[in-house]
Every structure is written in C-alpha cells, then in structure tokens.
Chains A and B, each alone.
Chain A
Amino acid sequence: MSCASPGNCVATGRYTDAHRHLQVFITEEKNGAWGNARSVPGLAALNKSDADAFAVSCASPGNCALTGGYTDAHRHFHVFVTDEKKGTWQNAHMLSFGKLDPGGTEIAFSMSCGSPGNCALAGSYFTADGNEQAFVAEANPDPVAYVADERGGWDPAQQVFGGTGDFNISGFAELNSVSCGSPANCAAAGDYITASNTKLAFVVNEVSGSWGNAMRVPGIATLATAGFAEVGSVSCASPGNCVVGGTYEGAHGNQLFVADQSTSTSTVLTLSAATARAGHEQTEKISVQVRPRASGVPDGTVTVKAGNTTVCVITLAGGKGACALRATQLRPGSYQLTAGYGGDAVYSGSASAARKLTVTR
C-alpha cells in the first residue's frame, strides 16, 4: 500500500480468478473514498498461471507505479511493472533484464518513486539455468541482487556488484528494500552470504542515476557475532540521508539494528587567542575541523570570514586545517569570525558558530 497524500492511497494484492489462477488487483482511494478493486490492465495477457503483487509506490495522487510477478507459458516467473499516469493505469509489461538473462525466476521485493515516472525497484533473480526441472532439482540456487530504474520508461535491470577484498556479493545476494530520497537518488539494502557462510547486511547507493558498488553495513559483522543479519527495510528522507534497519543474531540473541546514512557535517572554528595586536596578527592561528554526522573524512575547503570579508581559505586534510592571519590583515576592532565548509561529493556544507576576535592597537 502507498499513500501520496491523506485520503489518496493505492493498495494491491492478489485474488483467485474463475480459472483458479492467481491474479493481481489494484484498489484506489481518492479523496477518502475507496473505489472498486480491479485487475491490473494487461496482466491477464501476460500471466498464464499465477501472478503476485510485490510493491506499489505513489509519488503524487494519481501517479503511482506497481510491480509484481507473473508466470509465462514456459512456467517462468517474471517481474511486471505498470504505471499510473494522471489517474490512468497503463498496461503491465515485463521488466527487461537485458543481457543478464536470468534462468527464469525474477522477483522484485520493493519499489520507490522519487517523482512521477521516476522510480526504482530492487529484487533478486536466480542464476539457475532455464531448464525448469534442473532448476527445481537444484538444492540451493543463488539469488542475484538487481536494481532497475524508471526514468520516463523502465530501464533494463542491472546486477548489483560488491566491492573488493573481504566483501563480495557475487554469490547469494538478495535486495529486500529500496527507497528514493529524490528522483535518481536512492538506496537499496539486502543481505548476502559471505565466503565463511555467514549472512550479513549490505547497502548500495544510487547518486544522480548511477548505482555504486554494494558495501557491507558498517559494524554489522561486529554486532552479528552468530554470523547472521538480515535487512528489513531502508528509508531515505532526502538524497544521501537514509536509514537501514534489520535483525541480527549476536551476544544477546536475536535483536534489531539500525544504521544511519548522512550527508550532514558540523564545522568547528578555533582561535589560538581571543585577541591579537594590530601589525602582529600573524600570531593568531585559526583552526577548523569538519566532523561528519555518520562516518568518514570530509574533503574540500573551509572559508574563514570576518564579517563578509574572507580572511583565509583552508584546504582540509584529514578533515582538519589551519591558517594564520597576515601581519596587517585586520584593522583594530572587534570581529566575528566564522568558518564555512562548502561540502564535497559525499558531504553537505556547514557553518561554524561565530568566534570573537579583538584586534588591539
């Protein structure tokens, strides 16, 4: 179910038709009144056996997207997508997997729309070969994590890759949840089986339409001492500002975890002395530090100003930096110094609190 505004929601589910096939319905609330449930347009032509509803997301009233699965004539299970545009649902069509060529079972677990016509979905497909019997006989076919973007139309699904070193999701990997902070800026989260046969949680970020490499949720291996963690959901309030939650088995049994993603920083300005003598101002050392809310080390520059006048520009190294005033940079008087961090590709900018500097004669 998804609600774009109070009294404007869409719900989906499945029903059994007269041929005892599972089909998918949509029902819509408009201005507080629920309409009749109806079949997903075009799905009956695709579905030869059973279908299922996976997720729906509404960017605004009358502008939603729905994903589900259906069984084709070869008894392969595919993902379908359909969009509601200005109150009218379009025909469902199969999500393309392009060159990925899954073995015939594709599942979408989650969908999120940043704006009408700009959505993302996440799920898994199975790598077993297309032979149904061989597939059924396979004891443990590994699911592969994928994402797909809608940018006006739906792009083919793309596999999610892991990084290097000890993090590798080339085996079993499921994407359980996706959320978009804005169009083309989303995060997805899931779980994977490690080389040592433990199950841990991972996240993958999309920035400006490009999905990066998946990464293990920081700290999850330390929490999940019993070697088990699973993602429940991820939710993004804005680009780069998301939270992931799930379950893990650790020292206190089965518990729940949360981890925050953040672009936020805080900037701290420090003066070596509150006063400096005019003509000898070079003794005043100005230090800055930019601290991220979540983790990492911000890059970029910090501009220190006295009122509206730039005093110096500091290039950060390790999130810190310093400058000294020139000998005759400021006239005698009192100044409010501030430091402004401009941000980098990861972090947003921030400004320090003002520090008073008195230049004496």
Chain B
Amino acid sequence: MKNIRFAAAAAVAVVAGAVAMGGPASAGPLSAARPTAHAAPAMPANGTTARVAAATLAKSGAWGKARPVPGLVALNRGATQR
C-alpha cells in the first residue's frame, strides 16, 4: 500500500506549503496534452444549442475488459524477479 502512504504524504506536504505534487501534475495532463483540435467537432457557438446537439448524437459506449499491453509481459520479464 505504498501508494496510499504516498498520497497521504503528498497531501500533508501541500498543506505544509511544499506543494510537492510534481508527479501528478506532470503525469496528469497526458490527455490535456494531446492535440484536442481534432476531437472538437463543429459545434454551434451557442452553448445551449451545442448541448442539445450533443444530447442527440452522443452514445455512452461500453468499456471492454482490461488486458495486459500486448507483448509487454514477454519484454518485461524482470518485473517478476523483483
């Protein structure tokens, strides 16, 4: 449970003013860092109209099962020996 302890420690550091959250701050924005322009469809400028259009079109989708990254287990054999 080392990560639980890390989270607690990070929180304490924040309150203490150290703002020691470099990990999450840099790791988090992977999605934000992606070019979003391609994902933004041509939507009406009016917010309400945009939401109505989205309500008409959006599908929620279904999540498939988690699976190991293909081929990685064979490469990452050292992980078992730790």
Which residues of A pack against B, CB within 8 Å?
1-5, 14, 22, 49-60, 69, 71, 75-77, 104-105, 107-115, 117-118, 126, 132, 135-136, 139-141, 143, 151-152, 172, 174, 176-185, 193, 197, 199, 201, 203, 205, 207-209, 212, 215, 217-220, 223, 228-230, 232-242, 244-245, 248, 250, 252-263, 292-296, 343-348
Contact = CB atoms under 8 A, between A and B. Distances in A.
A54 to B, nearest CB: 5
Q: 8 closest A-B pairs (Cβ-Cβ)? A: A240-B61, A253-B79, A219-B65, A294-B64, A179-B31, A109-B28, A55-B29, A233-B30
Given A4-B35, A114-B36, A260 B28 contact: no
Contacts of B64: 218, 259-262, 293-295
B49 to A, nearest CB: 11
A54 B61 contact: no
Given A117-B47, A294-B64, 6 more contacts: A59-B37, A115-B40, A178-B31, A183-B43, A207-B59, A252-B68
B67 to A, nearest CB: 6
A259 B63 contact: yes
Contact of A77 (B14, B62, B76): B14
A109 B77 CA distance: 31
A220 B79 contact: no
Nearest to A181: B39
A253 B82 contact: yes
Given A253-B80, A253-B82, A260-B64, A182 B43 contact: yes
A217 B62 CA distance: 11
Contact of A347 (B21, B24, B59, B69): B59
A343 B40 CA distance: 22
Interface in B45-80: 47, 50-51, 54-55, 57-69, 72-73, 76-80
B27 A232 contact: yes
A126 B3 contact: no
B66 A1 contact: no
Interface of B: 1, 3-5, 7-8, 11-12, 14-19, 21, 24-25, 27-37, 39-41, 43, 47, 50-51, 54-55, 57-69, 72-73, 76-82
A255 B47 contact: no
B32 A115 contact: no
B62 A262 contact: yes
B5 to A, nearest CB: 8
A290 to B, nearest CB: 12
Contacts of A218: 63-66
A316 B41 CA distance: 31
A54 B10 CA distance: 14
A257 B69 contact: yes
B14 A263 contact: no
A207 B1 CA distance: 34
Contact of A233 (B31, B47, B68): B31
B8 to A, nearest CB: 5
A75 to B, nearest CB: 7
A162 B31 CA distance: 23
Contact of B61 (A223, A233, A252, A294): A294
Given A110-B28, A259-B67, A60 B37 contact: yes
A135 B5 CA distance: 15
Given A141-B11, A151-B51, A239-B57, A257 B66 contact: yes
